[in-house]
């Protein structure tokens, strides 16, 4: 199996991805592509991790989570876990989009994904190690003071949401606004963005900074990190309600994920999450990850 | 060209192989493409050479038909940027290359249109027409009309804005580009644009039929078929579904998605448009083929455009003005209740409208439609249209945590399954004058291959479990079949070889949306993979394996 890695020509600028296999399934045309073995199939043998190596599946261009320079909080958590295991980190880089899990974790080319929603179907998940929330993000100098999806000012503000484009699915803020018939003043940013730029999902934060939109409704860790980096002071407010009608959660527990069946490794990671909880919390705090109330934590 | 002619009839005038002797058809030779993904393209024959293009990585082979066993004359590797994979959307199939005036033209997954010298395989020009980093890609077969190479993009779900682009065949320079959303100026709509129905008339509908600037990431891509009527000097083609917004986030008709354009190929100027599925609810891309023939309709000869559509209706349209003469169901439909011929508007079934948090069952046809990209054939001898298609319904149900680019959300499951009868596919003969089904063959799997009909009154198609079949074009009776090494989703062609014999050729190699479970090695337990298609295809791996192979048949 060849693992191939991204090379950055200029850090965070021009990114070229070398040959890797992919499955991508296009809404309309549908498809699948696949270059290399192994294929994850029902009859796969029980898997043993190679000795001395913590093989992590990660996006090479998606701060604050991860990048190929190791600057994301998921990179830091991977290092901490590797240290705990007495191993070194080795990455399989793959844009975290449709096909990510199939081509990385499930294909057996890496053994751990640092961040997945708890109970996520495509992986065996650990206990949650943080809980975050979608947030309202705006410039401090605008004094918007929006705290809820029911705030009447949402009808007038220029609001940015991220669009996923999965069949019949989308990011929860888009649904919450639509349900309230807030449509015309909503601007969509594709979550995928332009992959030739650094951290493509962050363009929605740039739009707030520049004043192209008044308010963005985005996932907390993204907002927290980029708000801190911004030269313009930005305000972050957790959305309310936490769960909108009919059943639309804005708060998610995040776990680490291993391959289904890899119980032993999962238990070991759980042990790490429990024992090094203080350090983990410090890393999350360093990256200004908004923590939601009521989280089970570890 | 893959569709045989500008009218896209896929009718071969050869009659040596006929209903009386096709039972003797034998394998003449075969060729492995060395690629294992879904092979949707048609072999193209010109100058005693057969040209074959593979799915990604888009290799072109020239096979010498004058030599025994048709050895490779030359091979061209287009080496698409592999970042196309994973970063961009996309389908890795390729629907074919086209030969014109000593040159070959084709598209690569990473958005290059390439011209080769057909004799030597030498690259004449290569033009980048889209950006993979934005989720754009190209899978369609181009069409060359009056010195222009016509190309469209894929990637609607990634917020790509759809277009059709014309490049000069001579030098690859872009002559014009028509977008499928946005202001009239971008869509190349001017004073000569005369849609038949009121719903398609008005200024800048590509902006006003969307909320605020949602059209900027509105989809309407073009990855299907183009036909050309030289007499009227018009090209006809369809546009993809609106995306990536959910339906309730994009109130309005969402022009110019899910409809048919007639354009002047010289300038790109739009002449008429008809929207098949205004405000599409079910992912019914309107990219299917259009067959251009003259037929007696109500006793009067009409210049018609025939189109078995994804939404399940067989449209007979007046191609001079875009009027719908009839639209009758050829597949099982619950998602709509018919087409109003006065307004041109499809009558949606509100009960089948998907909504967040709501379980909607038995939406028929499912997202791939009653028929997807797989092209039909028309025989002027029988007057019938031969339609390869699928019989699938879907449930949109449940809520599951999902995750993309670090962002969690709750997604909806789409589950597909066989429609009434339990057969997932059907090959049917349709009479476009009487508007009725003449005969049909049930197939276990969706029929994802194209169709070919010949003057010998034989119709050919392939199945996803690898049977290449010949039927009597009049009765539908199975006359011959051959088991290929992999499932078939390609387009059959027939030609006369340098030795004077008639041949029939097909590319096998399962894949595509329907065959992703095999070509992509997807986990059959993950029923919502491939946007729910895997759930309907869990047994396909028991029936076929992947691998691209060309098969050529002849009478002994």
CATH of the domain at A76: 3.40.190.10
Let me know whether A162 and A184 are in one domain. yes
Residue A121 CB coordination number (10 Å)? 16
Q: How far apart are CA B310 and CA B9, in angstroms?
A: 18
Let me know whether A222 and A268 are in one domain. no
Q: How far apart are CA B16 and CA A188, in angstroms?
A: 58
Report the gap between the CA of B219 and the closest CA in chain A (Å): 10
Residues of B in Cβ contact (< 8 Å) with A252: 401, 408
Is the ipTM reported for this complex over the cut 0.90?
no
Alpha carbon separation from B313 to A46, B349, B370, B383 (Å, rounded): 49, 14, 8, 18
DSSP B437: E
Q: What is the mean pLDDT of chain A?
A: 83
DSSP B530: G
Indicate the angle between helix axes A73-85 and A277-286, nearest 10 degrees. Answer: 160
Q: Domain residues of chain B, as ranges?
A: 1-40+292-370+373-556, 41-288
Let me know whether A122 and A262 are in one domain. yes
Pairing of strands A159-163, A186-190: parallel
Q: Which two tokens stand for residue B522?
A: 């997807």
The reported pLDDT for the residue numbered B80 is 82
DSSP B141: P
DSSP A212: S
Q: A239, A133 in Cβ contact below 8 A? A: yes
The single residue listed with the structure tokens 């030269």 is: A231
Let me know whether A138 and A217 are in one domain. yes
**H helices, E strands: number in chain B:** 5, 38
> What range does the domain containing A267 cover?
7-130+253-286
| A292 assigned to some structural domain | no
DSSP B177: E
Domain B41-288 has CATH 3.60.21.10: no
Q: How far apart are CA A292 and CA A117, in angstroms?
A: 14
Let me know whether A16 and A40 are in one domain. yes
**Considering only alpha carbons, which residue of chain A is nearest residue B39?**
A31
Q: B262, B319 in Cβ contact below 8 A? A: yes
| A118 assigned to some structural domain | yes
What residues are paired with A61 via a beta bridge? Answer: A67
**Considering only alpha carbons, which residue of chain A is nearest residue B360?**
A168
Q: How far apart are CA B313 and CA B390, in angstroms?
A: 13
Cα atoms found within 13 Å of the Cα of residue B35, Cβ hemisphere only: 26
- Nearest residue to B385 via CA among B492, B287, B291: B291
Let me know whether A50 and A118 are in one domain. yes
**3 state SS of B370:** coil
Which helix (DSSP H) or strand (DSSP E) does residue B206 occupy? helix B205-208
Q: pLDDT 10s per residue in chain A (298 long)?
A: 232 322 222 322 233 222 222 223 222 233 333 333 334 444 444 567 999 999 999 999 999 999 999 999 999 999 999 999 999 999 999 988 878 898 899 989 999 999 999 988 889 999 999 999 999 999 999 999 999 999 999 999 999 999 887 666 788 999 899 989 999 999 999 888 888 899 999 999 999 999 999 999 999 999 999 999 999 999 999 999 999 887 789 999 999 999 999 999 999 999 999 999 999 999 999 999 999 976 443 3
The reported pLDDT for the residue numbered B89 is 53
Active site residue B349: no
Q: A46, A204 in Cβ contact below 8 A? A: no
The count of domains in chain A is 2
A221 touches chain B (CB under 8 A): yes
Q: B158, B134 in Cβ contact below 8 A? A: yes
The single residue listed with the structure tokens 């008005």 is: B202
- Cα angle for residues A38, A28, B150 (degrees, 5° grid): 110
Q: B336, B343 in Cβ contact below 8 A? A: no
Q: Which two tokens stand for residue A86?
A: 């007495």
Active site residue B443: no
Q: pLDDT 10s per residue in chain B (556 long)?
A: 999 999 999 999 999 999 999 999 999 999 999 999 999 999 999 999 999 999 999 999 999 999 999 999 999 999 887 655 565 555 589 999 999 999 999 999 999 999 999 999 999 999 999 998 888 899 999 999 999 999 999 988 788 999 999 999 999 999 999 999 999 999 999 999 999 999 999 999 999 999 988 999 999 999 999 999 999 999 999 999 998 888 888 999 999 999 999 999 999 999 999 999 999 999 999 999 999 999 999 999 999 999 999 999 999 999 999 999 999 999 999 999 999 999 999 999 999 998 877 889 999 999 999 999 999 999 999 999 999 999 999 998 766 778 888 888 877 778 899 999 999 999 999 999 999 999 999 999 999 999 999 999 999 999 999 999 999 999 999 999 999 999 999 999 999 999 999 999 999 999 888 888 888 777 776 676 777 788 888 899 999 999 999 999 999 9
Residues of A in Cβ contact (< 8 Å) with B245: 163, 165, 170, 174, 188
Q: B235, B178 in Cβ contact below 8 A? A: no
Residues of A in Cβ contact (< 8 Å) with B526: 121-122
Secondary-structure percent of chain B, ordered helix, strand, coil, rounded to 5: 10, 40, 50
Q: How far apart are CA B391 and CA B445, in angstroms?
A: 9
What residues are paired with B59 via a beta bridge? Answer: B77
Let me know whether A50 and A90 are in one domain. yes
Q: A142, B136 in Cβ contact below 8 A? A: no
What's this model's pTM, rounded to 2 decimal places? 0.90
Q: Which of A13, A22, A29, A34 to mutate to test the interface with B (most CBs of B within 10 A)?
A: A29
A44 touches chain B (CB under 8 A): no
B158: phi then psi, degrees, rounded to nearest 5 = -95, 10
Class of domain B1-40+292-370+373-556 (CATH, top level): mainly beta
Q: Which two tokens stand for residue B58?
A: 């888009």
| A2 assigned to some structural domain | no
| A94 assigned to some structural domain | yes
Using the beta-carbon criterion (under 8 Å), do B407 and A162 form an inter-chain contact?
yes
Let me know whether A178 and A247 are in one domain. yes
Indicate the angle between helix axes A220-229 and A203-210, nearest 10 degrees. Answer: 50
Indicate the angle between helix axes A263-275 and A277-286, nearest 10 degrees. Answer: 80
Let me know whether A263 and A232 are in one domain. no
Dihedral angle computed from the Cα positions of residues B27, B513, B107 and A59, in that order, rounded to the nearest 10 degrees: -130
Partner-chain residue, chosen from A31, A103, A219, that has the shortest CB–CB distance to B513: A31
Q: B13, B458 in Cβ contact below 8 A? A: no
- A121-139 pLDDT, tens digit per residue, is 889 999 999 999 999 999 9
- A261-294 pLDDT, tens digit per residue, is 999 999 999 999 999 999 999 999 999 999 997 6
| A291 assigned to some structural domain | no
Let me know whether A221 and A260 are in one domain. no
Active site residue B157: yes
């Amino acid at each position: 199996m060849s693992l191939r890695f991204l090379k950055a020509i200029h850090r965070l600028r021009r990114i070229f991805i070398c040959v890797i296999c992919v499955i991508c399934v296009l809404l309309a045309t549908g498809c699948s592509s696949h270059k290399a073995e192994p294929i994850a199939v029902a009859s796969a043998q029980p898997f043993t991790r190679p000795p001395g190596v913590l093989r992590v599946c990660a996006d090479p261009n998606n701060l604050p989570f991860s990048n190929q320079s190791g600057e994301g909080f998921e990179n830091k958590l991977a290092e901490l876990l590797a240290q705990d295991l007495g191993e070194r980190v080795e990455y399989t880089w793959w844009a975290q989009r449709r096909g990510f899990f199939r081509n990385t974790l499930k294909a057996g080319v890496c053994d751990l994904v640092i961040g997945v929603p708890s109970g996520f179907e495509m992986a065996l998940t650990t206990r949650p190690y943080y809980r975050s929330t979608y947030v309202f993000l705006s410039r401090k100098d605008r004094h918007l003071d929006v705290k809820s999806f029911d705030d009447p000012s949402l009808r007038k503000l220029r609001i940015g949401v991220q669009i996923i484009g999965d069949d019949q699915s989308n990011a929860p803020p888009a649904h919450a606004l639509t349900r309230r018939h807030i449509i015309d003043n909503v601007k969509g940013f594709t979550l995928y963005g332009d992959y030739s730029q650094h951290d493509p999902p962050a363009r929605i934060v740039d739009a707030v900074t520049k004043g192209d939109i008044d308010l963005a409704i985005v996932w907390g860790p993204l907002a927290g990190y980029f708000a801190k980096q911004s030269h313009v002071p930005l305000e972050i407010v957790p959305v309310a309600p936490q769960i909108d009608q009919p059943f639309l959660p804005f708060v998610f527990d995040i776990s680490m994920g291993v391959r289904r069946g890899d119980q032993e490794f999962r238990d070991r990671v759980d042990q790490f999450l429990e024992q090094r909880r203080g350090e983990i919390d410090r890393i999350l705090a360093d990256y200004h990850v908004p923590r939601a109330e009521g989280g089970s934590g570890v | 060209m893959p569709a045989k002619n500008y009218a896209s009839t896929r009718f071969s005038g050869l009659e040596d192989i006929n209903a009386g002797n096709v039972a003797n058809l034998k394998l003449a030779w075969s060729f492995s493409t060395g690629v294992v993904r879904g092979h949707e393209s048609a072999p193209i024959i010109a100058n005693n050479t057969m040209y074959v293009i593979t799915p990604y990585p888009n290799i072109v082979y020239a096979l010498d038909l004058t030599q025994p066993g048709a050895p490779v004359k030359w091979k061209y590797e287009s080496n698409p940027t592999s970042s196309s994979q994973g970063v961009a959307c996309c389908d890795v199939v390729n629907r074919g290359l086209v030969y014109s005036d000593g040159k070959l033209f084709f598209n690569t997954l990473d958005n290059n249109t390439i011209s080769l010298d057909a004799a030597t395989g030498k690259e004449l020009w290569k033009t980048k027409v889209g950006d993979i980093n934005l989720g754009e890609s190209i899978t369609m077969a181009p069409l060359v009309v009056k010195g222009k190479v016509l190309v469209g993009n894929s990637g609607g779900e990634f917020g790509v804005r759809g277009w059709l682009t014309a490049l000069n065949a001579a030098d690859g320079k872009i002559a014009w580009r028509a977008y499928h959303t946005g202001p009239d100026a971008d869509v190349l709509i001017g004073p000569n644009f005369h849609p038949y129905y009121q719903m398609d008339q008005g200024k800048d509908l590509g902006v006003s039929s969307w909320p605020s600037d949602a059209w900027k990431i509105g989809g309407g891509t073009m990855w299907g078929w183009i036909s050309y009527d030289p007499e009227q000097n018009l090209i006809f083609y369809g546009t993809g579904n609106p995306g990536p917004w959910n339906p309730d986030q994009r109130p309005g008709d969402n022009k110019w998605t899910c409809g048919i354009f007639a354009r002047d190929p010289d300038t790109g100027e739009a002449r008429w448009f008809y929207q098949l599925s205004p405000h599409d609810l079910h992912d019914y891309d309107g990219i299917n083929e259009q067959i251009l023939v003259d037929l007696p309709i109500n006793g009067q000869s009409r210049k018609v455009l025939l189109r078995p559509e994804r939404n399940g209706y067989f449209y007979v349209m007046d191609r001079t003005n875009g009027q719908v003469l009839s639209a009758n169901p050829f597949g099982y439909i619950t998602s709509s209740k018919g087409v109003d011929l006065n307004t041109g508007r499809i009558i949606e079934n509100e009960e089948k409208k998907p909504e967040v948090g709501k379980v909607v069952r038995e939406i028929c046809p499912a997202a791939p439609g009653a028929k997807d990209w797989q092209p039909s054939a028309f025989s002027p001898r029988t007057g019938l249209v031969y339609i390869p298609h699928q019989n699938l319904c879907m449930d949109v149900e449940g809520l599951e945590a999902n995750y993309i680019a670090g962002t969690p959300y709750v997604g909806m499951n789409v589950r597909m399954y066989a429609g009434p009868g339990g057969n997932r596919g059907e090959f049917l003969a349709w009479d476009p004058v009487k508007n009725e089904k003449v005969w049909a063959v049930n197939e276990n799997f969706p029929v994802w291959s194209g169709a070919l009909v010949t003057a010998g009154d034989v119709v050919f198609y392939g199945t996803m479990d690898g049977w290449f079949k010949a039927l009597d074009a009049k009765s539908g009776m199975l006359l011959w079949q051959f088991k290929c090494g992999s499932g078939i989703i390609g387009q059959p062609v027939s030609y006369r070889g340098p030795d004077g014999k008639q041949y029939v050729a097909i590319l096998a190699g399962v894949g595509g949306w329907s065959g992703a479970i095999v070509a992509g090695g997807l986990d059959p337990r993950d029923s919502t993979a491939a946007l729910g298609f895997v759930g309907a295809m869990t047994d396909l791996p028991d029936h076929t394996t992947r691998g691209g192979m060309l098969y050529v048949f002849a009478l002994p």
